[in-house]
Structure 1
């Protein structure tokens, strides 16, 4: 058995990562798990030296030590933002940025390591404008889209066709202290006012869909599930308890486009969302380069855990 470890970088509570680690343990693949943003520099430490072959040295976490040059793969799941001990003052902010660029920089430059996916590639691909431009260039069908902070432009666009608003980034949002999601929702010209000018807004043509498709790509494997929501639901994520799932095949041409999309951004994983119309046309909505998949594996019977473990174990696209 190859004794090189897989490094899993994620937050403490992550059942999705747990499933992959369990599968790797079953295969007797060594795994080191840590949350760099919280563990370093107290519960984890690093000593990295630059050599002609790249970074060498040791990373220690959870009382285990691995050689940096021997890490076969890094599974960058959902690590916490980098913080530093102490108050919230300037010194702590400086230390947190040094940690991100020091430890994070070394972990992003490991020799011979497969990244699922590289943190910098994930960060680049999270920008929806870049996603939409790439999708168009690859021949995917994309709804008419406007990104603006101009209330007049927004009113004109929403008057031209049925329109939805969606956030450009799905960050944590709280209402009365409780976490809440900002879902895609229909919007009409009369609902818009000068508050549009406070930030960038994404408006998009509302597709007359009959279902949605979530396509999860791992390396070169593509797994698709047709998602049916109750009538009138625009964003299926708001109705998890009332959804039905069906595994479906991905059209060959679409598979090639998705693989080219990942290659464009340097990714080995992507969770794509499509709206499907009555004529079976798939409309590209977005790609989450680090999207959740655990619930979908169970709901649609898709072997995503196996595919991810295969990729991490083999260190090559499968």
Structure 2
């Protein structure tokens, strides 16, 4: 059986579940956001071995039945509604997170892409940029800072062709409405308001001209590369995430063998079995690394290009069933 940790509105899970069923493998889809309000977890050390049980939907599962865990996009633990006091809710949710972290670490099975601690580390752009440089990827000159004067220096060095983006993709609110900070060219007007940078760091890089953008999805040792023709619309020219799937054209891209190999090595070096890598292909034919997302979206690429990413994920997950001798249909 496969344990899937993700929120219930996750469309990617719905793409993979039928593939698991075709392979004769059961799956339990559980969101840690149901814990501790609606689910129970017990970890018991007996005779030198841990036994973990999960109770959800009135059914108890021993962790030993799970040959793999797909750590997709779980919600954070949530206290029960009856816990009304804010400080009590904060306490309950914090200790629940601590227990979940320990449960993951002691839970000996195959994790896809990895345990949460490893996912969060790999998601840190300084970490995956450093790993990419080490493996010989071409990476733009990068400054990460909250020093307003560093913004001026980076803008000058880039001869006015500078972009800013978040250290982490985080939604925030303005007058009660959710917003995201997308990749943004830095103008002279931004320099006049540069003191606002002191309140939160940003990533600064010289603008890289694009022929196309590439989303490279690595599943184990398999690589799927899609071209995103983002330059055909002003809406997606600087950051295709504004309107992915609406204004851009998509195609399958034949990645050079050496670069494909390094993509697999990059994901593996970060302790992951999966990763979505964003790369720019310049008009001159140079591949420029931007970042890696260990929980990146891929469903819309499968829709537009027919790349069999969900099949590859299902294959990776059920491989553990074969290793422990469980019956898996072809």
Which moved further from structure 2: 106-115 or 237-246? 106-115
Q: Which position in structure 2 is the counterpart of 1:266?
A: 271
1:249 corresponds to 2:246: no
CA 1:9–1:151 in 2, change beyond 3 Å: closer, same or farther?
A: same
Q: 1:245 to 1:217 in 2, by over 3 A?
A: same
CA–CA separation in structure 2 for the residues paired with 1:275 and 1:140: 12
CA distance in 1, matches of 2:96, 2:177: 30
Aligned residues of 1:114 and 1:315 also touching (Cα < 8 A):
no
2:209 touches 2:282 (CA, 8 Å); kept in 1? yes
Question: Where does residue 50 of structure 2 map in the other structure?
Answer: 55
1:145 to 142, 147, 157: 142
Alignment pair present for 1:45 and 2:29: no
1:128-277 alignment, distance < 5 Å: 128-161=125-158, 162-192=161-191, 193-229=194-230, 230=232, 233-240=237-244, 241-277=246-282
Please report how far the alpha carbon of residue 52 of structure 1 lies from its aligned counterpart in structure 2 after TM superposition.
5.8
Residues 9, 74 of structure 1: 8 Å contact kept: yes
Q: Is the 8 A contact 1:45 1:60 kept in 2?
A: yes
- The 1-side partners of 2:71 and 2:254 are apart by 28
Alignment check: 8 A CA contact 1:55 1:68 kept: no
1:101 paired residue among 98, 102, 120? 98
- 1:193-230 deviation per Cα after TM superposition (whole angstroms, max 9, x unaligned): 21121121211111011110000001110000011022
The Cα of 1:112 is off from its aligned counterpart by 3.2
Give, in whole Å, the separation in 2 of the partners of 1:45 and 1:58: 8
Instruction: Report how far residue 188 of structure 1 moved.
Output: 2.8
C-alpha RMSD of the superposition: 1.9
Distance (Å, rounded) in 2 between the aligned partners of 1:159 and 1:148:
16
CA distance in 2, matches of 1:157, 1:42: 48
Q: Is the alpha carbon distance of 1:80 and 1:88 closer, same or farther for their aligned partners in structure 2, counting shifts above 3 Å?
A: farther
The runs of 5 or more residues in structure 1 that have no matched partner are none
Q: How many residue pairs get matched?
A: 312
Gap change, CA 1:256 and 1:198, over 3 Å in 2: same
Give the gaps of 5 or more residues in structure 2.
322-330
Distance in structure 2 (CA, Å) of the matches to 1:239 and 1:116: 26
Deviations 1:223-256 (A, max 9, x none): 0001102255111112321100011122111122
Residues 275-284 or 49-58, more deviating: 49-58
1:271-306 deviation line (CA, Å, top 9, x unaligned): 000111012211000011100111111111110110
More divergent stretch after superposition (114-123 vs 52-61): 52-61
SS for the counterpart of 1:245 is: strand
Evaluate the alpha carbon distance shift between residue 113 and residue 67 of structure 1 in structure 2; reply closer, same or farther with a 3 A threshold.
farther
| Equivalent-residue separation in structure 1 for 2:305 and 2:105 (angstroms) | 33
Alignment equivalent of 1:291, drawn from 276, 290, 296 = 296
**Counterparts of 1:53 and 1:292 in 2: how far apart (Å)?**
40
Match of 1:14 among 10, 15, 23: 10
What is aligned with 1:84?
A: 79
> Could you tell me which residue of structure 2 aligns to residue 278 of structure 1?
283
- Deviations, residues 165-199 of structure 1 (Å, cap 9, x unaligned): 11111112234433333210110344222112112
